Structures are given as structure tokens and as C-alpha cells.
Structure 1
Amino acid sequence: MEIRKKIVSGIAATLSAAMLVSVAACGGNDSASDGPDDGSFMKVDVFSSTANYQGVQKGWFAKIVKDKFNMELNIIAPNVAGGGDTLFDTRSTAGNLGDLVIVGMQNGRLQKLVKSKLITDMTPYYGKMTNVKRYQAGVDYVTKQAGQDGVWGVPGNVSDESPTKSADGIEPAAAPYIRWDYYAKIGYPEIKDLDGFADVLKQMQDKAREETGDDDIYAVSLFKDWDGEMMQNAMAASQWYGYFAQNSVLVPSDDKDSQIVPASQVGSAYDKMIEFFNKCDRMGLVDPESTTQNWDNLSTKVTNGKVLMSIWSWLGKPRMNGNENQEKGVGFMLAPLQDMDVYTPGFQPEGDGNTFIAIGSKAKNKERLAKFIDWLYSPEGIYASAANSGGAACPKEMCWTLNDKGEPQLNEFGEKAMFNSDGLQVPAEYGGGSYNDGISTLNFKTVNANSTDPDTKSAFNPQLWATQLAKQTKLSEDWSKHMGGAKTDIEYLEKAGKLAVAPGATYTPPEEDSQISTLRSSVKTEVINASWQAVVAKTEAECQSTFKNMGTQLNDLGYAQVLKVDEDNAKALIKARQEIVKEYADKE
């Protein structure tokens, strides 16, 4: 198997652990009565920590489930009920989480569920779960994390694609995106590096203000409310240069040539982005409300045309690139930053290392529930239950058919469902009602939608279909013309040698010692405060000294202990990455 030269750490590392929970020893009994299934109607309680809706599933997805399994799904959602882990604790203590369970496996939660007999070993039913067996590596990972033999669940976001192949589909999550229409109006100047990028952004800002007469248009707008281990915006932008943050360290794009580095290290990718934002600020390109606004404020400004650069594909494009704007040549597109080496995760054979789906120990008709889980991992189930964002959240016939060449092609309803679903009504034959209201409320992505459908030989995601890529707008045509004829961002980055693929290694960090967590809290506060101070520094020298002094302050806070933990976890992640690459190669 050919492995790309640029390989970075697996995105599957779960960086934020769920609160440690206490599960009572009086948990459920796996031998609960489960007599023969007579096929009669059953209401299924689904405890889903990922769901954002509580109540009975409605609409077209409900109709599919009723027709195929004679079941009704009743969603129990901690995110809606509130109280953090309280609902989980209460139901666990009672010995019955639900008939189906979708929860995280980190911080020992999976082991607790198994030990307390709150979930079922699906081994008796596994022989018939032919769709799930396509993702055996994921099932094995759950078993390994459970610490006990058996089939305890199936993880989310699995794939049978190569772990060294980009799983991002058409575009990376974090990359330099710009308002292409203003870039075109200033003559498509080359952008060699970040210094040159700042100069180009200045020209774009000047042009936008000149044309609109609005002085509140800024090239760059930032926000604080997602800050965690670091200043989130600079951390995310570090991915432009192939680094992925894991807690307080950056995992390099090539472990052979680089080393794991603290984000606080002078010269790190994080430092590089801090200095870039500072230069932009000194040039008058940064929105002065960046230090006080939140994500919602920024999103509104992007929608209103007040921001010219987007750190992520999913900020600028969804809010500006509507069909009407694209036909005018207006919208965000990937910038041709010559020295970028953009991070992208590889497919994850073992899943995302976070959530999994299982059968509750008190459930009745467990064999039928096992069939339902297996269906969720079938092509039909993937199309029906995939998240709408980047997925194919509607089934064949309702949304798409095969054309004369045997290629999947969206119909008129499917086009609206995938890209402009507000107010869309579902035909009565498919259940009627609002399309959006009928989307699966499990909010659980079983298989990465950019994986290949074994039946159509195309991706599950319609955005990757040849029939969809053939549809060009004025905006996409102009961008393609200036980007070597590429139809997608990933295609351009691959051809240009600017894509750093992170093998999809699944790694769940061990539970953290409370002393380290306490030290980490102080470290995070110092890193975030110093980073913002550096960004708004009045001179380049002040920016650099502020960042350098941060390292001294961190040492006084006991950062060495935190760094040791983070470096060990990063090394374990790299090892897992190397192992998954070898394992996949051995299977070919």
C-alpha cells in the first residue's frame, strides 16, 4: 500500500474526557427475560448522549423504522434534559439506561457499563450482523476498551477505507479561506507565505470598504468562547501547517522529521499563527470586537459580508456560498497559500474512539434490536440516518436514483434536502411532514459518509458524486480555473502536495490524575491570556516577548508535569497511528 509522504497524528484522539461517573453495583442483569420475538410493535427507549432532541422520533425516518422493524424510537437525551451526567447516573443506579444506548467510552465509562451489567454482550446475535462485520476493527476496539471478551457495542464514524486516505471528502476542516470575489477584484495576487497573506488581505479589505462604503468590514475576525487548552483560533489555524493540537502539545505532520512540541514553544506552529494574527492586527485588519465577541456574533458578521477570511471551511462557506451568491461569483473559497501543508484526518477503521451504540441489558427482543443496529451500518441505513452536514440524510428513491451510467444522482427533492432544506416537505408516500423534522434524532454517525458505498462504488456523501461535481457555478468555475482545474479543495491540495494526511488511528487517553487536572487548569489560563495579549500587542517585539515570557510563567506553574503527561499521550497516539497503518497494509 502506498503511504503518503506527509503523515500526521490521527484525529481520533479524544481530547476532552467526559466527567467520571459512578455506576451502582445493582446494575441490570444481562439474563433479563427476553423470550421469543413475536414481531409485535415495540416502543424502544434510546438513551443517546449525542441527541439534541428528546421524545418520539417523527417523520420519514420514523416511517422507515416502523416499516422495517415495527418499532418506535423514544429518545432520552441528557443534552436536552440538562444536569450533565445526572440523568446517566440516575438511570444507571436504577439498573436500566435504555433499550438502546449511545454513550461515550472514555474515562472508564465503557468498563463500568460492562462490569455493572448495564449493556448486553451481542455475541449471540453477531453471526447475523453482516453489515457491522465490515467494520470488525471497530468492534474489536470496543471490546479492547471494555476489558472483557464479548461484542459490547459498535463505535461511531468507522470506515473500511485506508487510514492514510483523507476522510475529509471535498474540503479540510481548517484551511485558509477567503472571499474569492474580492480576491479576484484585486487581480489574484500570489500568496507566498503568511506575510504575503496579510498584505493580500489588506488589499481585499481596502477594496471591500471602497466598494461598499462600509468601514466595519474586516479581513479577520476572532472570538474567545471556544478557548480551551489554548487560544482556539490560533490552535485551529496551526492545522494550516500540518499540526494537530492534543491538549497542550502539537503533534507534528511528519514524525520522522519533527518532534512533538509544546504549543508554548517559540517558533511552534501555534506561535507562528499568533504572530500572523498580531501582524494583521497592527495592520488594522482584525475586528476590534474580537476580544469580546462570541461565535454567534462572528457568524452573523460573516453572513452579513463583514468578514473576508475564514479559518475553517465550515464558517465562511455555509454562511456566504448560497446558490444565488455563487452564481454571482460571490463566496468563500480556499486561498492559494503557497507554503501551507494542510492537516487532514485519515479514515478510522476503529471508529472515533468516543461514542458507541449498544443494547441495554433489560431490553426485550434483543435480536430485533441487534438487527436494527446492523441496519444502521448498512448502505440503506447509512443514507437514512447520516447527519445532514456532509452526509446523505435521506434514502434512495426519496432523494436519489441511479442514472443511465449507473451513477447515483440527486433528484429535485434530494437537491433541496442536501443543500437547502428549510421548509422542505416530504411526499406523503415517504411519511410526509417537514424533512428537517424527520431527520434521525439519534445524532449518531455510524459510518464516515465519505466512505465508499459498496453498491454504487461512489461515496455515501452526495457532494463527492461525479454527477454532483459536474455541476459548476460562476464561483466554482473561476476558482477551479485558478487552481489547476481542481473541482474540490482536497483535490487541489493533493495535486499541489499541500495535504498532510493523519492516519486514522483511534486513541482514547487514560483517565487523568486529579493533581494534573488542577495544574492543567492554571496552565490553560496562562496560555490563553498570554496568547490574546500577544495578538493585540502594539509592536512585533512586544508580541514576541509576551509569547516568550509565557513559557517562563508556565514553568513556575508546574507545567513540566502536565507536559510529561501530554507528551506521553501524544507518543501513544503516534504509536497507534503507526500500528493502524501497518495493520491495514498487512490486510491488503
Structure 2
Amino acid sequence: MELKKKITSVLAVGLAAAMTFSLAACGSDTAGEEKDDGSLVTVDVFDSLANQQGEQKGWFAKIVQDKFNLKLNIIAPNVSGGDTVFDTRAASGSLGDLIITGTGNGRLQKLVKANLVTDMTPYYSSMTNVKKYQNAVDAITEQAGKDGVWGIPQGVSSSDPSSPSEGMEPTSAPYIRWEYYKELGYPEIKDLDAFLDVLKDMQDLARKETGQNDIYAFSLFKDWDGDVMNNASAVVNWLGYQGQGSVFISADGKDVQPATQEGGVYEQALEFLNKAEQMGLVDPESTTQDWDTMQNKVTNGKTLVSLFSWLGKPRMNSDENKAKGVGFMLAPLQSMKVYSTGFTPDGDGSTIIAIGSKSKYKERLAKFIDWLYSSEGVYAAASNSGGAACPKGLGCWTEGSDGKPQLTDFGKQAMNGDHANLKISDDLGGGTYDSGFSLLNFKAVQQNDIDSETGAAFNPQLWESEADTSALFKDWSEHMGGATSDIDYLEKNNLLTVAPGASYTTPQEESTVSATRSSIKTEVVNASWNALVAKSDAEFAKVLKDVRQQVKDLGYDSVLKVDEQNAKDLAKARQEVVKQYQSDAK
């Protein structure tokens, strides 16, 4: 699954401004009571997840217009304006007709109090698809702090929260250019140090064979840094931990470590990357380049390691390359305990879709939202291009003689081949497959969940008919104990740790804590990059020693106290969701 640009955070200050402004607006929801005559209208979609803005075009636009007579105008803070867009629109009393945004740090409560979202209760009885996930809806109501249906979370599921939700491949794991690893004779990789030795040999081999000295094992980027350095956090996932604010939590919830912990998992990740840097394995442009530049290098074969499954494979593992045995595959790193997130029956409560309180088309938008949670809607709106959205009505798949879904030739090209140039007929919206996929970037139902209408997963990669038979996969499987997927290999070798999928969002924190957190983040991220490029072990150690003292002087204890409590609450939520699922299954 392709991860898109980082979600723009909705600042509390903007919501506070909206609450102040909305005193006069509260209770004046008459615009939403006007009669909707069903005519073709353009609705504004304020979307914190979107990475493109403007009018939705192509085949997804055609589906939405045919079913609901709606045109979608996407307003994307990620693309232009950032938090200012939210602040300005919130202060006016209307974010948009349709709202996709985060809920953490008490934001949902503020949206409700500021009268920026509407209560969908009048339409809820007809939202038959959404009602299948009642627990998820109830969780959002509880988070809102007020009775009503204020939003629907993304990522809902009917599957076991203790089972890995990724399907075939974890989000973050060590992926390598398998053809070079093969040429080296499949050397054993016992631990991270051995991994670096293998990568050095792979880099030397790749440069020799291509004559290109700008090939590096690692190419990194800064775009998505938050409380910590994003790329180092990905390596922490290999160790069985996930970031939550300024701390890292083990998948079983038994261990919580601050990012500044001496010898902790975050320092281990930084040390690994620094050793790579000292060995000449890190692209020197890593400290200045952005995501777009880095991903182009992956596509052009300049990178030998992919920190994420959704980075290397989609850009290198074309059918043509796989037939030649070329591409990224999971490395057999014996010391890894890859972090995996379980299915979320209660959904991902940190992001919701809601209806703006001033919209004139509330009932129609409620129907549209409900459709997103239907089988048809999931196939149509799933994620982004290249391996996700696969509508049956677009001719993407059909049912085989055994009644199970299978991709058509069109679907295979859309999911695995040259989808950027895949033409769509005018009667289905025109343009190309890529130019027509949903700009919402809102995943209503987890893609690897089971479609009740077919009995198979929504994700075509998991269909029996779509088993990988390429030379690349066969060779990988033969040297990975006959594994049928990355997840299969990790599970069979006890190299996977699953954190139960729980709907949890951080509560609102005091403004003084938020201000301190902002300062802490800056120091930690800067120190992380300085540690990465340290020229010696001594310099590396000094950088981290200094930042530990700096953040302490800035008042990190107050932030750590909040984050440790949030971690405990998250662990508790995970335990409760497992108990609830087991109870419901009886």
C-alpha cells in the first residue's frame, strides 16, 4: 500500500479560533434544512489526507456523479496553505460540505463544540453499511463527548484485532534488491551489523555491474519527521516497537521507551544508520532531499534498501523486472521482530469523515459516506493508484467459475503493470487509470479485510487467483523456506510481533505541554540527523548525550509524563478490544 504525504495536523489554536467565532453561528443550522432537489452540485471536501486538490476527475468522478449527482472539489491543506487553510475556514464557521480530518488532542470535541460538524443521527437509520461497524461509531461518539453521530472512522474491520492487518507484507521491514543479494550467494544475515556487511558487498557489486557510483544502500528524506526522525522510526519498527508521541511502545505494550533513552530502540536505529553512513552506504543527499527526489532514485535503481514495503516494490517490481528476477524482496534478517498492527474493529479513531454543519446536502452526503463503506465503495475508493482501487464496474475484476474473484487483463495492468498509461474509455470517465483514482485518500474499510459478498479480501493481492508466479518470487520463496508471503515467512519464523488494533486517540493536552513538545521535537529531530552523519562513534555518542541534557533543560519530563500515560492507555485499549472481539465472537 502506498503511503502518501504526511497528514497535516489540525492545530488546537485554529479550533479555538473557530469556537470563538462560532458563538454567533451555534444553533443556526438552517442552511442544512433547505430542500435538496437532487440536482448536480459541486461540494467542497476539506481533506487533511488528500495530496492533490481541485475537482475530482476521471473514472471515480464518473462513479460518484452517476450514483449521487455530486462533483467533489478537494481542498487539501497538504498541498497548499497547511494549517492556515484550516484556521481560515474554521473561523468562517464552515470547513466544507464534507470533512476528512484528524481527531487527536481533543480536536473532535472542539469540532463538535464549534458547530463545524453535523450530527448524522437523522440519516443514520438508512446508513446500513456504516451500521455494520456500530462499535466504531460508538467509539467516535464517546470521543466527541456528546450524544450523536459526529463522524465515521476510517479503517474499520470485521477481522480479529490480534491478526496482522497488512495481509501479505508489513508496513516497515528491511527490503533489499534481491538480484544483488542472490549474486552474492544468499549470505546469512544474523543481525544488523551483519546486514550492513552484506549491504556493503551489494553496493560494491551494483556499482561494478552498472558503472554507476551514485548507487547507495540507503537514500533517506526529511519530509515526514515529527516527534522523531521518521526514517529511524521505520527501523525501530523492525525491532518490534512503534512510535507514540515522544516514546516507543512494544507491540505487546509491556515496554515503553522515550526516544532519548540511552541504549534504547531509537538509539539502536540511529546507531545502525550512522554505521551505514560511516561505511559509505548512505546517499549524501539524504539530509537535504525530499520524498519526491528520493522515490525517483528508488525507481531509477539508485537505492538497494527500502525501509517500507510500499516504497521499493511498487517502483521496481514491475512484471518485466520480476520475470528477470529483479526487484525488492524481504531480507532474511534473523534478529528482526517486525512490528505489525492488527485489524481495527473499532476503526482508526484518529481520522474521521464527517458532514459540515452548513452543508445544504447533508442527506445526500450521508448516503455517499455510507456507500464508501459498502463493498462497491471500498473497491472504488481504496487508497491511491497502483495496487489498490479496483472497481468491478470499471472492468477490473470478475468472478471465476469457482465463484471467487479474479483480475481481468485490465485489472492486472491496473494493479501490477503500467497503470499510469492505462486508458479509460470515455463512457467510464476517460483519461487514464492513475488520473481517475479517488483523491480522498480515505480508506473506509481496511483493504485486507474480508468482503462479505465474495468471501475474499478486498485486496486483490490476497486472492488465490493472483498468486505471484514470477521468477523473482519463486527464487525468494525457495530461499525463505517456501514462504507464500512476507507475513507468512515472518510468522513461521517467529519474527513478527502484532499489536492488537485498537481505536485510540490522544486526549487534549495542556497548552504548556504542547509548547514544550514543539521545542523538544525540534531538538530531537535535529540531533537525530546530526547523529546520523557523525564521523565517529565518539561524535555520535556526544550528540545524543547533549540532546538528552537539552531536552531535560527544556522540561521534557512534563511531555514524557503525558506520553507515558497515553502509552498505558493505548495498551489498555488494545487489551479491551481483544476482549470485546472475543466476547462478540462467542
Question: Same-fold call, TM > 0.5?
Answer: yes
Matches within 5 A, 1:110-509: 110-256=108-254, 259-364=255-360, 366-389=362-385, 390-396=387-393, 398-419=395-416, 420-469=418-467, 471-509=468-506
SS of equivalent residue, structure 2 residue 161:
coil
Match status 1:102 vs 2:100:
yes
Deviation of residue 177 (structure 1)?
0.9
Are 2:180 and 2:202, in contact at CA under 8 Å, matched by a contact in 1? yes
Find the residue that maps to 1:447 and give its secondary structure.
coil
Instruction: Write the letter of the residue equivalent to 1:48.
Output: D
Instruction: Report the secondary structure of 1:224's partner residue.
Output: coil
User: Which residue, out of 5, 18, 22, partners 2:10?
Assistant: 18
SS at match of 1:354: strand
Native 8 Å contact 2:394 2:428 kept in 1: no
Q: Corresponding residue for 1:519?
A: 516
1:563 aligned residue (544, 553, 560): 560
The whole-number CA distance in structure 1 between the counterparts of 2:505 and 2:574 is 12
Picking from 537, 540, 552, the partner of 1:540 is: 537
C-alpha distance in structure 2 between counterparts of 1:226 and 1:37, whole Å? 41
Q: Distance between the aligned counterparts of 2:577 and 2:345, measured in 1?
A: 8
Within the candidate set 63, 70, 73, 2:71 is matched to 73
1:35-82 deviation per Cα after TM superposition (whole angstroms, max 9, x unaligned)? 66665544444333333444443332233223323x122314043783
TM-superposed CA distance for 1:309, in Å, is 1.5
Q: 1:562 to 1:179 in 2, by over 3 A?
A: same
Counterpart-to-counterpart distance in 2, 1:80 and 1:281: 31
Return the letter of the residue paired with 2:412. Answer: E
User: Residues of 1 paired with 2:449 and 2:490: CA distance?
Assistant: 19
Write the letter of the residue equivalent to 1:51.
A
Partners of 1:522 and 1:362 in 2: CA distance: 37
> Greater CA deviation, 138-147 or 389-398?
389-398
- 68 and 494 in structure 1: CA distance in 2 versus 1, 3 angstrom threshold: same
* Partner secondary structure for residue 177 of structure 1: strand
Total equivalences in the alignment:
571
TM-fit CA distance, 1:554: 3.0
- Partner SS for 1:422: helix
Give the Å deviation of 1:120: 2.7
State the distance in 2 between where 1:35 and 1:339 align: 62
Instruction: Kindly state the Cα deviation for residue 533 of structure 1 after the two structures are TM-superposed.
Output: 3.5
| Counterpart amino acid of residue 288 in structure 1 | P
CA contact (8 A) 2:8 2:48 kept: no
The offset of 1:226, in angstroms, is 3.3
Q: Kindly indicate whether the alpha-carbon contact (under 8 Å) linking 1:30 and 1:118 is maintained by their aligned counterparts in 2.
A: no
* Preserved CA contact (<8 Å) 1:153 1:357: yes
Over residues 106-131 of structure 1, what are the superposed CA-to-partner deviations in whole Å (9 max), with x where a residue is unaligned?
A: 34332233334343322222222111
For 1:485, the aligned partner's letter is: G
Residue 345 (structure 1) shift: 1.0
2:336 aligns to what SS in structure 1?
coil
Partner of residue 3, structure 1: none
Q: CA deviation at 1:422?
A: 1.1
Distance change >3 Å, CA 400–CA 247, structure 1 → 2: same
Q: Is the 8 A contact 1:180 1:333 kept in 2?
A: yes
Per-residue CA distance 1:90-141 (angstroms, 9 max, x = gap): 4444444433332332343322333343433222222221110111122112
Sort the Cα spacing of 1:528 and 1:535 in 2 relative to 1 into closer, same or farther, 3 A: same
Do the aligned residues in 2 keep the contact of 1:52 with 1:77 (CA within 8 Å)?
no
| In 2, Cα distance between equivalents of 1:89 and 1:539 | 45
Asked if the contact 1:50/1:77 (under 8 Å) is kept, the reply is no
Q: 1:107 to 1:563 in 2, by over 3 A?
A: closer
DSSP 3-state at the match of 1:47: strand
What's the % identity of the aligned pairs? 58
Counterpart of 2:569? 572
Structure 1 pair 267/32, CA: closer, same or farther in 2 (3 Å)?
Answer: same
Distance across 2 between alignment mates of 1:35 and 1:557: 53
CA displacement 1:142-167 (0-9 Å, x = unmatched) = 21122111112211121121211111
Q: Which stretch shifts more, 35-44 or 238-247?
A: 35-44
Per the TM alignment, residue 83 of structure 1 is displaced from its structure 2 partner at its CA by: 3.0
Measured after TM superposition, the shift of residue 475 of structure 1 is: 0.8
Q: Is the 8 A contact 2:252 2:499 kept in 1?
A: no
Contact conserved, 1:26 with 1:95, CA < 8 A, in 2? no
Contact 1:346 1:501 in 2 (8 A): yes
Equivalent residue of 2:77, what SS? Answer: helix
Alpha-carbon distance in 2 for matches of 1:567, 1:267? 18
The SS at the match of 1:155 is strand
Query: CA separation in 2, counterparts of 1:548 and 1:340?
Result: 27
- Alignment-derived partner of residue 62 in structure 2: 63
Question: Which range is displaced more, 314-323 or 498-507?
Answer: 314-323
Q: Is the 8 A contact 2:384 2:439 kept in 1?
A: no
Query: CA 1:110–1:275 in structure 2 vs 1: closer, same or farther (change >3 Å)?
Result: closer
Contact 1:174 / 1:237 at 8 angstroms: preserved in 2?
yes
In structure 1, runs of 5+ residues without a counterpart are 1-13
State whether residues 252 and 498 of structure 2, in contact with CA within 8 Å, keep that contact through their aligned partners in structure 1: no
The residue number in structure 2 matching 1:11 is none
Cα distance, 1:568 vs structure 2 = 1.4
Partner secondary structure for residue 349 of structure 2: coil
Contact 2:180 2:205 survives alignment (8 Å): yes
Structure 2 contact 392–398 (Cα < 8 Å) conserved: no
